[in-house]
Structure 1
Amino acid sequence: MPVTRAAPKLMVEDVARSVAFYREALGFDFVCGVTEDTRQVVDQWPAPGRLALAEVRCGQARLIFQSRGSLTAELPRLGEAKIGGSVVIVLTCDDLDALYERISERTPFLKAPHVTFYGARECSLQDVNGYVLTFSDGAEQDH
């Protein structure tokens, strides 16, 4: 059984704030969301009401944001989990330098473009929730 897609679900305090950051600072598109009180699926941004969940995309990359309250109702063991933490999400892009120039005007990077010990060119930033995003030029070889 091959896996056909991965979309990390990230616990956040404010879904709309997360969507706004990814749209405005990183150029992601809003795919859809689910309102907190009515559980209505919405596909227009800004959403009418507070969101419990939302999906964003940029190219083939997709991320899902779910509010702490909504996610811990489904998975109570996450109730005490810290938002952000040690997860690094790697996003491959076609032109790392252009992406860095465009995004660095709005958002500070943790690390500028550099060559890693494993031969990839990467740069990293922290999103509004504390998650680390690493952008890679995709030139590293598959291992």
Structure 2
Amino acid sequence: MTVTSATPVLMVEDVGRTVAFYHDVLGFAFVVGVIDGTRESVTVWPAPAPLAFAMVQSGQARLMFETRASLAADMPRFAETKIGGSLILYLDCDDLDALYARLSEHAPFLKAPHTTFYGTRECSFRDINGYVLTFAESAVKTIPTPETPA
């Protein structure tokens, strides 16, 4: 067996507020949502009614958000589970400095951009639900050659 993809489902209290943050602040595209209390799918943002579920995407990264009530209806153990928690979403990006400059206006960083011993530059902050997002890019910059344009 080979796992071909992983898309986390993050429990949140307010899907619309979460999508707005990921869309407006982080630049994720809205893919699809499900209207709360129905099975009606929507593909336009902002959604015409409160959402129970949504998926957003940036490049190859996809994240799903679902309300506590919706998750608990399917898996009762989520009714009392804390939102946020001991999870770090590690997201590769292509311009860490620009991302840091843009996000610094919206949220305090847990870690400012720094170079790691394993060859990446990273920074971390907490989203509006308490999830930790670590953005990373290669610390090794390639020098353009005639064969590899800038």
Q: After TM superposition, give the deviation of residue 117 of structure 1 in Å.
A: 4.0
The question of 1:112 aligning with 2:108 is answered: no
RMSD: 1.4
Number of positions where the alignment pairs a residue of Structure 1 with one of Structure 2: 140
CA distance in 2 between counterparts of 1:100 and 1:124 reads: 9
Q: Residue by residue, what CA displacement relative to the aligned partner does 1:113-141 show, whole Å, maximum 9, x if unpaired?
A: 0123433210001000000000010459x
Residue 64 of structure 1 pairs with residue 64 of structure 2: yes
Tell me which residue corresponds to 2:35: 35
CA apart distance, 1:48 = 1.4
Structure ID, larger Rg: 2
What corresponds to 1:122 in structure 2?
122
Matching of residue 73 in structure 1 with residue 73 in structure 2? yes
Contact 1:88–1:131 (8 Å) recurs in 2: yes
Query: Deviation at 1:4?
Result: 1.5
Q: Return structure 1 stretches of 4+ with deviation > 6 angstroms.
A: none
Aligned-partner Cα distance in 1 for 2:4–2:139: 22
Measured in 2, the distance between the counterparts of 1:100 and 1:15 equals: 24
Equivalence for 2:101? 101
**TM-score w.r.t. length of structure 1:** 0.92
TM-score (norm 2): 0.88
Deviation at 1:110, TM superposition (A): 1.4
Runs of 5+ consecutive residues of structure 2 not aligned to the other structure: 141-150
Q: Which runs of 5+ in 1 are unaligned?
A: none
Distance in 2 between residues matched to 1:37 and 1:68, nearest whole Å: 13
Identity of aligned residues (%): 63
Q: CA offsets per residue over residues 11-52 of structure 1, 9 Å max, x none?
A: 000000000000111111100000012220000011111101
CA contact (8 A) 2:13 2:68 kept: yes
